[in-house]
Amino acid sequence: MEILIISGLSGGGKSKAASFLEDAGFYIVDNMPAGMILKFAEFCASGSSRYQRAALVYDVRTADTFDEFLEVLSTLRQREYDCKLLYLEAEVGTIIKRYKETRRIHPLQEQSGSLEAAVARETALMAPVRAQADVIIDSSRYSTARLRGELLRLFGGAKQAGEMQVSLVSFGFKHGLPLEADLVFDVRFMPNPFYIDSMRPKTGLDPEVCGYVFSFRETEQFVEKLRDLLRFVLPLYKEEGKTVLVAAIGCTGGRHRSVAVTHALAEYIRTLGYQVTENHRDMTRT
């Protein structure tokens, strides 16, 4: 059984981390007192597979002192649990900015007098917990996507860690842009098989049409440059934490040129090790 305890500073990103880990298959429990953690772990260990990956959010709201929590953490690590402590923090200025944007009250602000003093006090109080952390993340300079990607890399499991799916869509501009597209490429400059009677009823998946489209130097040059671009940007999107990248390739009607180019790119991207889906949205439209 896997138990991940999410702790850290208020405003450090614990709630976002919990939501991302829930997407990765963790059962999330927020604001759990230290005294209940061991009993909950025993319940999960004897229960269904639903609870075999549990993430518990523990922070300053639930503690008078952290002595009990540190004892519980030590006990969990001694037992046959895969137990890790994730600690999230951020710079003081970043935390203050986040609280101002959300208009929430820091849990220690009333006792401390100011938001800055509350952050300083919490940092000192949480120091013993931070010292026991297996992973510490300073979320100050993390975008939401990058934080998600990092958490999936660390805790998502072999299948999900860093995984990104590339979805390729061919389309016709006369039928409108695919709304879900992240990248759009226009291939209307290529010679059009539509104007050749024998090819008009066929599609870009037919060898005759595909061979015609790729018989022109500009097609080969464009596709080669597009391969170079994708080889460069795909790892960057993956590192940023993107799980699905949609690239749309369009021609006038979406039947010939865009289909041939999309199919060729799909085969190439698979050789780079990515999962690829190929969808020819307008191929059968007139």
What's residue 154's pLDDT?
85
Q: How far apart are CA 196 and CA 175, in angstroms?
A: 22
Average pLDDT over residues 198-211: 96
Q: Are 257 and 187 in contact (CB under 8 A)?
A: yes
What is the CATH superfamily name and number for domain 2-160? P-loop containing nucleotide triphosphate hydrolases (3.40.50.300)
Q: What is the rounded average pLDDT for all residues in the chain?
A: 90
Average pLDDT over residues 215-222: 96
Q: How far apart are CA 125 and CA 53, in angstroms?
A: 28
What's residue 158's pLDDT?
46
**99-143 per-position pLDDT tens digit:** 988 888 999 998 888 999 999 999 999 999 999 999 999 999 888
What's residue 9's pLDDT?
95
Per-residue pLDDT band for 64 (boundaries 50, 70, 90) equals low
**259-286 per-position pLDDT tens digit:** 999 999 999 999 999 989 999 999 998 7
**229-265 per-position pLDDT tens digit:** 999 999 998 887 787 899 999 999 999 999 999 999 9
Least reliable range by pLDDT among 77-81, 197-201, 281-285:
77-81
Closest CA to 18 of 141, 148, 149: 148
Q: What is the DSSP string of the chain?
A: -EEEEEEE-TTSSHHHHHHHHHHTTPEEE-S--HHHHHHHHHHHHHS-GGGSEEEEE--GGG-S-SHHHHHHHHHHHHTTSEEEEEEEE--HHHHHHHHHHHTPPPTTHHHHSSHHHHHHHHHHHTHHHHHT-SEEEEGGG--HHHHHHHHHHHHSHHHHTT--EEEEEEEEGGG---TT-SEEEE-TTSPPGGGSTTTTTS-TTSHHHHHHHTTSHHHHHHHHHHHHHHHHHHHHHHHHT-SEEEEEEEESSSSSHHHHHHHHHHHHHHHTT-EEEEEETTTT--
Residue 39 has pLDDT above 70, yes or no: yes
Residue 27 has pLDDT above 50, yes or no: yes
Residue 220 has pLDDT above 70, yes or no: yes
What's residue 161's pLDDT?
47
Q: Cα 15 to the chain's mean position, in Å?
A: 15
Ramachandran angles phi, psi of 265, nearest 5°: -65, -40
Q: How far apart are CA 39 and CA 50, in angstroms?
A: 17
35-44, 91-100, 158-167: which has the highest mean pLDDT?
91-100
Is the entire prediction scored with pTM above 0.85?
A: no
82-89 β-sheet, strand order: 27-29, 53-57, 2-8, 82-89, 135-138
* C-alpha separations of 73 from 79, 154, 221 in Å: 10, 20, 59
Domain ranges across the chain = 2-160, 165-280
Per-residue pLDDT band for 46 (boundaries 50, 70, 90) equals confident
Q: Residue 189 burial by CB count (10 A; 0-12/13-18/19+): exposed, middle or buried? A: exposed
What's residue 159's pLDDT?
47
Amino acid at 152: L
Per-residue pLDDT band for 152 (boundaries 50, 70, 90) equals confident
Question: What is the distance between the terminal CA atoms of the chain, rounded to a whole angstrom?
Answer: 55
Average pLDDT over residues 189-197: 96
What's residue 45's pLDDT?
81
Average pLDDT over residues 194-211: 96
What's residue 157's pLDDT?
64
